[in-house]
Amino acid sequence: MPNNIIDTLIKNRVSWLADSGPDDDIAISTRIRLARNLKDTPFPTNASDDDLRKAVLAIQLATEKSGCIKKPYFFTMRELDDLDRAILFERRLVSLDFSAKPESSALILSPKEDTSIMINEEDHIRMQAIHSGFQLRTVWSKIDSLESALSGEIPFAFDHDLGFLTSCPTNVGTGMRASVMLHLPGLALANQMQPLIHGVNKLGLAVRGIFGEGTENLGNLCQISNQSTLGESETEIIKRLEMVISQIISHEKNARNKLIETGRNFLLDNIGRAYGTLKYAYVISSKEALNSLSMIRLGVDMNIIRSVDIHTVNELFVHVQPAHLQKYAGKPLEQEERDIMRASLIRDKLKKK
């Protein structure tokens, strides 16, 4: 059953790459996660196997009774093999730590992949909502409704002075991590990424790679998120993040306009070389593929490339990942085999357009 669910997922378009949200030419997606723990139950870091199993059952039952996720998929992570867990990670449905610890953990997932609950990651509950584009308030409303529904069925660990209690002190308070994934090739071509990262960090926000903390900034994709969860309300965090993201989007638009006005040949050269690489390469690494796809997406967004549609480019950002390639192949692949298959997949997709 779990394997059938994964097979179903990879046939579907990734919901957060729908390219249908506000400012979706720059803001790829908006995601909010909430960390919660069950009251009077040892946190996962100190819990016994029996405690963890009871937490899984309690959270599954609460989800079913509250109806907070309609017709959810439910599976324990130990039912999945390494490849299927990696698929979930590449689709941004689970964290890297969660995918690496299958024992006594479980996942509840909406069929549209826009809502999920990780059970027994670092905390008993890591609930997530994710939408395409820049829409922090919409995503907050969704995750707030989910949290309210669950809390009506099971009490959470809470302190009136500190707020929600979590395994890691950095999540105490709201337990919220709100982030927006941005595509910033204009600023990258203008050599403005390092000043941007420095400025964002000074404002108390974090800049992470495409798959979150500790991951590389590939394809000119980065996630901007709050660092503090204590001392600010959820609304205040979202308002501050919203203001900073709006400014970054404005800077990216200005960088793109400046490239057209004063660096047109430089811009066209970068886009053209990337397009040529993807269309004719027979061996390509994940890193080179993502960086080239970034330039193609820029070309499509700026109406420089009209032979490729944005949905094809967006989907390739996920489909060229190692686990997806091996799933399509139906067998494990060595790195060289993946690089060959990746190039073949991209050539085939671009040929059809």
**Where along the chain do its domains lie?**
2-256, 264-351
Taking a C-beta distance cutoff of 8 angstroms, is the pair 252, 26 a contact?
yes
The model's pTM is: 0.92
Task: Flag whether pLDDT at 102 surpasses 80.
Answer: no
pLDDT of residue 13: 83
d(CA 228, CA 269): 41
At residue 33, the pLDDT reads 97
Please state the separation of Cα 213 from the chain's center in Å: 11
Angle 304-190-225 from CA coordinates, rounded to 5°: 95
| CA pseudo-torsion sign 105, 108, 114, 120 | negative
- Among 194, 265, 201, which residue's Cα sits nearest to residue 227? 201
The number of beta carbons lying within 10 Å of the beta carbon of residue 142 is 17
Distance, CA of 92 to CA of 89 (rounded, Å): 5
What is the number of other CB atoms lying within 10 angstroms of the CB of residue 96? Answer: 14
Q: Which of 59-68, 96-105, 196-205, 333-342 has the lowest mean pLDDT?
A: 96-105
C-alpha span between 324 and 277 (Å, rounded): 21
C-alpha to C-alpha distance for 115 and 141, rounded to whole angstroms: 12
Judging by DSSP bridges, how do beta strands 221-226 and 205-208 pair with one another?
A: antiparallel
Q: What is the pLDDT of residues 18-31, one digit of tens each?
A: 777 789 899 999 99
The SS3 assignment for 239 reads helix
What is 2-256's CATH number?
A: 3.30.590.10
